[in-house]
Amino acid sequence: MSDHSLLPSRPSTKRSQVAAQLMREIEAGRWAVHESLPPEMALMDLYGVSRHTVRAALADLQAVGMVVSTQGVGSRVVCAKATPGYSQSLESISELAYYARNTSVQLVSVEDVLLDEAQAQVVGAEVGAAWCHAVTLRAAAGQQAPMGLSSVWVPAASKKAIQASRRSGLPVFLEVQKTNKQMVGEVRQVIGVGVADAAQAKLLQCDVREPLLRIQRWYFATNKALLEMSDSLHPQGRFQYAMTLRHVKGSAGATHTY
């Protein structure tokens, strides 16, 4: 039986109806795992709805881990059942903003910092530089517990981007772009593992020493200036990260990961 309770909670709308119908059909095997869903135009005709409604419904299914949507490629089934976590699939910088559509952010703390040696090493900036450090919690629609705890660092001059992100719900890097009038041109990412200390466990509502997915990102402007560094922790079962790897023409057989 379809667990529609995992879909984002909202009054019955065309979006929720289409998402629920897609969920039922995927669970029934109409589209198998690893199989592509019909193009958006075909889904529009199938359900008699607009492109906006189709995209919103697909976003809901991606949020519960059933499909992965890739710009210019389409949507593919990755799981026949909804899971209570959150799935993020990225192939470009613009897609980093996707998760904000179905999540909410809580600002836990903000402080001005002159980077000591250990902080400078983590952030990737000079010792003694003036930065702003924020701690945030983000929750996915339909989840009781937070899906992630983030430590976000921005130069002191970009401090107002932290409060702007809290008000808008958008990722900090989008507000940093507005503040600095500079586009993010490159994001470097490291995926690893951590364990929850007592303070983190309390905020994440998980066990002390519980394994956590750790994602660190450094956001650079087109002129290579560091605009933001984030260090996020995700408890098991609440978040998954998906990537698509492709061969790049002219790479002499090498696979490039972005």
Mean pLDDT value across the chain: 83
What gap in Å lies between CA 63 and CA 33, rounded to an integer? 16
* pLDDT at residue 249 greater than cutoff 70: no
* pLDDT at residue 252 greater than cutoff 50: no
Tell me if 187 sits within 8 A of 219, measured CB to CB. Answer: yes
Supply the pTM of this predicted model.
0.64
Quick one: fold of 87-242?
Chorismate lyase (3.40.1410)
**Regarding predicted confidence, which is higher, 75 or 249?**
75
Domain regions of the chain by residue span = 4-77, 87-242
* Confidence (pLDDT) at 256: 36
How much of the chain, in percent, has pLDDT values that exceed 90?
A: 49
What gap in Å lies between CA 140 and CA 145, rounded to an integer? 9
Element (H, E) at 58: helix 51-63
- DSSP 8-class letter at 72: T
151-206: pLDDT as tens digits = 999 999 999 999 898 888 788 888 998 888 888 889 999 999 999 999 999 999 99
79-94: pLDDT as tens digits = 888 765 555 555 555 5
Quick one: fold of 4-77?
Arc Repressor Mutant, subunit A (1.10.10)
Tell me if 172 sits within 8 A of 228, measured CB to CB. Answer: yes
Q: Give the three-state DSSP class for 194.
A: strand
Report the residue count for the chain.
258
Element (H, E) at 246: strand 246-247
* Confidence (pLDDT) at 258: 33
* Confidence (pLDDT) at 98: 57
